[in-house]
Amino acid sequence: MALIVQKYGGTSVAGAERIKHVARRIAATEDKGNQVVVVVSAMGDSTDELIKLAYQVAGEPSERELDLLLSTGEIVASTLLAMALRDMGYEAISLSGAQAGIHTDSAHRRARILKVETRRVIKELEKGKIVIVAGFQGVTGEMDITTLGRGGSDTTAVALAASLGASLCQIYTDVDGVYTADPRLVPEAGPLAEIGYEEMLELATYGAKVVHPRAVELGELYHIPILVASSFSDKPGTLIHGGAPMEVRNKVTGIAHDLDVAKITVVGVPDRPGIAAAIFQPLAQAGVSIDTIVQNASIEHITDLTFTVAKGELKEAMRVVEPIARQIKARECLSDSRLGKVSIIGTGMQNTPGYAARMFAVLSERGINIQLITTSEIRITCIIDEAKVEEAVRTLHRAFELESGE
Ligand code: ADP
Ligand code: ASP
Ligand code: MG
């Protein structure tokens, strides 16, 4: 008897019929003699709707209240799924994240799982029940409810798989696996049969929201292979694991994009020790997470410092940085919130020259201006005008011959 952890995303449980369809898939897994733990997301766009409501009643809703509010989305889905299974004659029980023993730190809206206390889940499994856990949420030592960041149900699933000693975590979504690019943007993109943790982590971190980056991190840390597949088909999906081939024919594995990029440039910064700390320490204290940072070489001890943040954090970042810019006698502070990023990713690019040059040439042929560039060993990212992101992804997908999805 195997223990299987399955996760179903929001689209897969959007509406009564889809919940019943998912219940049938879970029942079929149990019928094969498996113990089943299911993690579920909120139905359809209900998390977005709850956030919208919160901002309709308050200009700056309290993060604690928001977390408690948002956690209800997953509770609705998990209770309905348990009811559907019971109606089909299966023993099932739903548990909130707290009841399932998901303990987190107290960083509301982006909490990290500290430990999973599996006693209750194991007790229910031993009673022969299918256990349905509300994803995306946990509880602090003070018994406050937290959420794990958008898309965080994937992380709940992998954390449970690791703590329960499952040999695989299955993530069921609305696409047939991890594609060479977002299939909503690139119709020719195809699913990959397999991908390594490292490449998947870069893809997810740089915008491929098909799997939450922290779920991939946990999978790698605890050696849990993750299968990403569709809840609407029986196609094989993509296996994310540690043994993916190192040398591949086409050395770019996939393309990620992200439309949530804003840029701040502090112009005319005196180039002396302590300036970067003076800018970034207060930003960190204000909880603003910084993505890319670029500092130009200085001319006559004056330089420009540019960094990017998520669009939703631009206002707060400017509020923090503008007075500092005045204090350090920088010339001015500029911002641009209409940016996006496009990344090419592949372990095969390591130590192989020419990929960056090819990427830049492809973008320039299309008249796409590159504003910032960042790289890792297996990734090259260009920050460009948000209106050009779609065209850039499609063009790069063709240029790096990814159409076959291999
Ligand atoms: P779920 O609700 O099941 O968690 P998400 O909406 O979070 O689903 O993620 C699935 C979506 O991710 C797909 O519908 C697809 O548009 C998007 N996506 C972005 N990049 C990729 C990619 N490389 N491969 C597959 N899907 C991707
Ligand atoms: N419902 C949450 C969200 O929309 C978590 C998830 O779907 O994984 O972000
Ligand atoms: Mg998701």
Percent of the chain at pLDDT > 90 equals 88
Q: Which tens digits make up the pLDDT trace of 101-119?
A: 999 999 999 999 999 999 9
Between 328 and 219, the more confident residue is 219
Mean pLDDT, the chain, as a whole number? 94
In ligand 2, which atom is closest to the CA atom of 45?
4
In sign, the C-alpha dihedral spanning 61, 65, 67, 70 is negative
Residue nearest to atom 8 of ligand 2 (CA): 151
pLDDT at position 349: 87
pLDDT tens digit sequence for 121-160: 999 999 999 999 999 999 999 999 999 999 999 999 999 9
Instruction: Flag whether pLDDT at 404 surpasses 70.
Output: no
Q: Each residue of 231-263: pLDDT tens digit?
A: 999 999 999 999 766 666 568 999 999 999 999
Q: What is the pLDDT of residue 91?
A: 97
Residue 7: name the closest of 212, 290, 190, 259 by CA. 212
Residue-wise burial string across 160-169, b where 16 or more C-beta atoms lie within 10 A, e elsewhere: bbbbbebebb
Mean pLDDT of 191-210: 95
93 CA to centre of ligand 3 in angstroms = 23
- Please work out whether the CB of residue 171 comes within 6 Å of at least one atom of ligand 1: no
Ligand nearest 208 Cα, by number? 1
DSSP string, 24-42: HHHHHHHHTT-EEEEEEPP
Judged against a pLDDT cut of 80, whether residue 175 lies above it is answered with yes
If you average pLDDT over residues 57-83, what whole number do you get? 97
Contact 147, 108 (CB under 8 A): yes
Query: With 60 as the cut, is the pLDDT of residue 197 above it?
Result: yes
Q: Which residue ranges does the chain devote to CATH 3.30.2130.10?
A: 255-399
CATH class of 255-399: alpha beta
**Going by CA atoms, what residue is nearest to atom 15 of ligand 1?**
182
Q: How far apart are CA 15 and CA 366, in angstroms?
A: 42
* Rounded mean pLDDT, 219-237: 97
Q: What is the pLDDT of residue 138?
A: 98
| pLDDT surpasses 90 at 88 | yes
User: Does residue 299 carry a pLDDT above 90?
Assistant: no
Whole-number Å distance, alpha carbon 181 to ligand 3 midpoint, is 15
Q: What is the structure's pLDDT at 298? A: 81
Atom of ligand 2 nearest to the CA of 73: 1
The model's confidence at residue 272, banded by pLDDT at 50, 70 and 90, is confident
The confidence score (pLDDT) of residue 247 equals 61
Write down the pLDDT at residue 405: 46
CA 58, 59, 63, 66 torsion-angle sign: positive
Q: Is the pLDDT of residue 406 over 60?
A: no
Across the range 65-91, mean pLDDT stands at 98
> Domain 3-244: what homologous superfamily?
Acetylglutamate kinase-like (3.40.1160.10)
- Provide the whole-model pTM: 0.94
Q: Which residue has the higher pLDDT, 204 or 300?
A: 204
Contact between 210 and 153 under an 8 Å Cβ cutoff? The reply is: no
Q: Which helix (H) or strand (E) holds 277?
A: helix 275-285
Per-residue pLDDT, 320? 95
With CA atoms as reference, report the closest residue to 238 among 377, 38, 12, 406: 406
As annotated, the residues of the chain forming the CATH 3.40.1160.10 domain(s) are 3-244
Atom of ligand 1 nearest to the CA of 172: 3
pLDDT confidence of residue 223: 96
pLDDT mean over 27-31? 97
From 39, 158, 175, mutation site for ligand 1 pocket: most ligand atoms within 8 A of C-beta: 175
